[in-house]
Structure 1
Amino acid sequence: MTVRIDEMDRKILSALQADASQSMDDIAKAVGSSKTPVWNRIRKLREAGVIGQQTVALDAEALGFEACFFVLIRTSEHEAAWQKRFLEALRARPEVQEAHRLAGDIDYILKVRVKNARAYDVFYQALISEVKIHNVTALLSMEELKSTTMLPL
């Protein structure tokens, strides 16, 4: 379901994407409105599910998580019980930052952030002990060129 948003909503959402910790006064000033209408719009956007969880972006490398792996998974298992176990295993592992089911030759891709290659191996061994996986390929990211959660509004 898509929600109808107008130009003012887009301005508000852009301001929030840039820095959700801004005061309501600062957002209102940035979008050319007053505080109460902006607050009402934000409330409606939250209720509609357009605005989800608000978090803080942490610097992974500053915290010692220097290795980012993209993990390509092929499986010969496609029944609901396997998919449920796989999803539970992924959700239980904080190292998995993203997981996507794909169309094509690869069934799943994971973005896994760990301290080093040894930590990745611990993650890998735990994962394959919980769910049957046909083939796993891990690709180490040498350099992150761009990373954003901002949508092109």
Structure 2
Amino acid sequence: MKLDDVDLRILKELQRDASRPASEIAELVNLSTNACWRRIKLLQESGVIKKQVALVDPAMVGKELTVFVELRTAHHGDGWLESFSEGISKIDEVVEFHRLNGNVDYLLKILVSSIEDYDRVYKKIIRTAPLHDVTSYFSMEKIKETTEVPLDKR
């Protein structure tokens, strides 16, 4: 789907607060409510808008500790990767899971309530598959966090 400037402005507003009615978004992007609603529907149907969610403050629900975990492995076969990916993806505390290039094979972002809680998750991670190295980094302070995708004009 080719996005025009109006689509990008709609997306920018929805990323800021998707709970606003289409009429409010329409006013902000200088469209009629119906035209705005149709564009939003098309953005949803085409997969540009994947879903709408509530962003929960982790600290408010007891998940005050963020841990970044680097994983290195000697295994890279398809069967191993499929099994490993499935195992890690089943761990609820893992909120991001990336395969990387370079010296680190995988990077996890984990939300937990305490060091003890992380230790429990760590044990789940090392049981999923043989790993060469696991390095954990505990976040001291969150300086910036956003869910907004940058929408520069092309």
- Please report the TM-score for the alignment, with normalisation by the length of structure 2: 0.95
Provide the rounded CA distance (Å) in 2 between the counterparts of 1:58 and 1:15: 19
How far did 1:85 drift? Answer: 1.3
Provide the rounded CA distance (Å) in 2 between the counterparts of 1:93 and 1:12: 34
Structure 1 residue aligned with 2:11: 13
Structure 2 residue aligned with 1:147: 145
Structure 1 residue aligned with 2:119: 121
How far did 1:79 drift? Answer: 0.7
Which of 116, 132, 135 in structure 2 is aligned with 1:134?
Answer: 132
Structure 2 residue aligned with 1:56: 54
Structure 2 residue aligned with 1:67: 65
Task: State the identity as a percent.
Answer: 40
* Residues 23-77 of structure 1 deviation map (CA, whole Å, 9 limit, x = unaligned): 1111111111111111111111112211002111000011111110000000001
Provide the rounded CA distance (Å) in 1 between the counterparts of 2:49 and 2:105: 29
Provide the rounded CA distance (Å) in 2 between the counterparts of 1:51 and 1:34: 20
| Alignment coverage as a number of residue pairs | 151
Which of 25, 28, 36 in structure 1 is aligned with 2:26?
Answer: 28
Gaps of 5+ in 2: none
Question: Is 1:79 matched with 2:104?
Answer: no
Instruction: Give the SS at the match of 1:62.
Output: helix
Question: Is 1:104 matched with 2:102?
Answer: yes
Gaps of 5+ in 1: none
Instruction: Give the SS at the match of 1:90.
Output: helix
Provide the rounded CA distance (Å) in 2 between the counterparts of 1:90 and 1:15: 34
Tell me the C-alpha RMSD between the 2 structures: 0.8
- Matching residue's letter, 2:49: I
2:88–2:128 Cα contact (<8 Å) kept: no
Structure 1 runs of 4+ with >6 Å offset: none
How far did 1:130 drift? Answer: 2.2
- Please report the TM-score for the alignment, with normalisation by the length of structure 1: 0.96
